[in-house]
Amino acid sequence: MYQVGYMRQHALKIFQAALSAVDPVEAILRYVKKVEEGLQIGEYRFAFKDYDRILIIGAGKASAPMAKALEHIIGDQITDGVIVVKEDHGLPLKHVQIHEAGHPIPDERGVKGTNEILSLVDGAGEHDLVICLISGGGSALLVAPAEGINLEDKQKVTQFLLGCGADIHEINTIRKHLSCIKGGGMARCA
């Protein structure tokens, strides 16, 4: 009996360590730091004086806590932001607007949020820093149908793929070809 209790405690510690390692807030805090002259992301430094605006964009089930962590780090340095999250995954944010949308089946709310992201990055200039936060679910939440395709088409294809047992890599491969934002589209817009 003692060994079972010990093994359970040990398994719980391992589980908690795994959760902590992938926590979106902890990941941002681990790799993003406010430094004297600006922001450090990993090994890259961005001096605030070099940018007119700092814009936050993104999508995914964890993008709200990621944005909250960025707001904690650089706060009022953020000029504007838009993210799209799964319904009921929003958080109160000061500088970043949140759009809750359907997941895994895309909906009109995802289209609206994605259009706001595209409008924001389309207006970005060479002296703006755009920070993009993408987490799991981002592909379903960023909805910008390619030319000749509409939201209903994307919904039907997604339902078909989910129904036939396609894995996430297969689904995302097809989503990329049905979208003007995936596969580098958002970067081209920015």
Tell me, yes or no, whether 19 lies in a domain: no
20 in any annotated domain: no
Note the pLDDT of residue 174. 92
For residue 158, pLDDT beyond 90:
yes
Long-range contact list for 109-116, CB < 8 A, 24+ apart?
109/84, 110/84, 110/140, 110/141, 110/142, 110/143, 111/143, 111/144, 111/145, 111/151, 113/59, 113/82, 113/83, 113/84, 113/141, 114/59, 114/84, 114/141, 114/142, 114/143, 114/144, 114/181, 115/144, 116/82
Q: Is residue 40 part of a domain?
A: no
Asked if pLDDT for residue 121 goes beyond 80, the answer is yes
Domain membership flag for residue 127: yes
The answer to the question of residue 26 being in a domain is no
Residue pLDDT, tens place only, 30-72: 999 999 899 999 999 999 999 999 999 999 999 999 999 999 9
In a domain, 27, yes or no: no
**Number of compact structural domains in the chain:** 1
| Domain enclosing residue 85, as ranges | 52-189
Query: For 21-35, 110-124, 149-163, which range has the lowest pLDDT when averaged over its residues?
Result: 21-35
Is the pTM higher than 0.85? The answer reads yes
Does 22 reside within a domain?
no
**In this structure, is residue 43 part of a structural domain?**
no
Does the structure show a pLDDT above 90 at 85?
A: yes
Whether residue 86 has pLDDT greater than 90: yes
Q: What mean pLDDT is predicted for residues 115-120?
A: 96
Banded model confidence at residue 1, pLDDT cuts 50, 70, 90: low
